[in-house]
Amino acid sequence: MQTSLCNKTALITGGGRGIGRAIALAFANEGADVCVAARSADEIESVAGEIRDMGRNGFAETCDVADQKAVEAMVASAAEKLGRIDILVNNAGGGLERTNIGDDNPGNWARVIEINLNGTYYCSRAVLPIMKRSRGGAIINVGSGMGHQPRSGNSSYNVAKAGVWILTRCLAMEVWKDNISVNDVIPGPVFTELTSDVFQLGQPHPAIESELVKRPEDVPPLALFLATQGPGGPTGQSFSLARRPI
């Protein structure tokens, strides 16, 4: 049966667990060969094994996306194993502390920017020559509603994701002529290992009554939609699963 990502390849950062793992498995289920990247070797090796069990090529690349040289080496290795990179999902990210400025740790603040924003930039920059040689591709940045509105107590994450949103729009304007789309996905509240201290699965958001806490597996359909639109599809846009205005 012809699947929507047949003969396509994808590189997914933060692919060892949570949303990244869910997207990786969903893409493989739709026919893509997938490389998952993260710092935790055991986790990404496990996901790559699951992908191979589905009959697709699955690879694992250990990498800290905040390290530019490591990213460049990881992308080059992934491209060699996959043959090319049609889709990049910049999913690696997260916060380190929820405190007000002045009560926070400046090192943690900078690290959040490095992982979420700089990591997205490094990975996107590294795949561009590969996608241009293939005459097209899709970059999907996993953003956050917190990058679209100010909030107290978590400025590093807000600022990092706001930067990802502006980077999405800037890059989209620069590469559309190369048939490369760049879009932002807002999952809304999702229960993962990183949010288990804040969210309860299937329950409302603790501060936003309209928001229902989702599973990681609820996010891939939106990423899959963007991955399959082709050169005439949307670019420079933000697509949200949130249940409130963003």
Distance CA 122, CA 27 (A): 23
3-class state of residue 52 by DSSP: helix
Structure tokens at 87: 């889709």
Which single residue is written with the structure tokens 């501060």? 207
Please state whether the predicted TM-score (pTM) of the whole model is above 0.85: yes
Q: Which residues pair with 181 in a beta bridge?
A: 138
Which tens digit of pLDDT belongs to each residue from 185-200? 999 888 776 666 676 6
Does the pLDDT at position 207 exceed 80?
no
Q: How confident is the model at residue 1 (pLDDT cuts 50, 70, 90)?
A: very low
> Quick one: pLDDT at residue 195?
65
65: left (phi over 0), alpha (psi -120 to 50) or beta: alpha
Nearest alpha carbon to residue 142 among 104, 97, 194: 194
> Region 68-90: what's the mean pLDDT?
98
> Quick one: pLDDT at residue 246?
76
Distance CA 47, CA 196 (A): 21
Distance CA 37, CA 12 (A): 6
How far CA 205 is from CA of 20, 190, 240, in Å, comes to 21, 10, 16
Mean pLDDT for the chain?
Answer: 93
Which amino acid, 139? I
- Can you list the domains of the chain with their CATH numbers? 9-189+217-240 (3.40.50.720)
- Please state, for a pLDDT cut of 70, what percent of the chain lies above it: 93
Q: How confident is the model at residue 106 (pLDDT cuts 50, 70, 90)?
A: very high
> Region 108-126: what's the mean pLDDT?
98
Contacts of 185 (CB under 8 A, 6+ apart): 140, 141, 142, 143, 219, 222, 223, 226, 238, 239, 240, 241
Catalytic site residues? Answer: 157
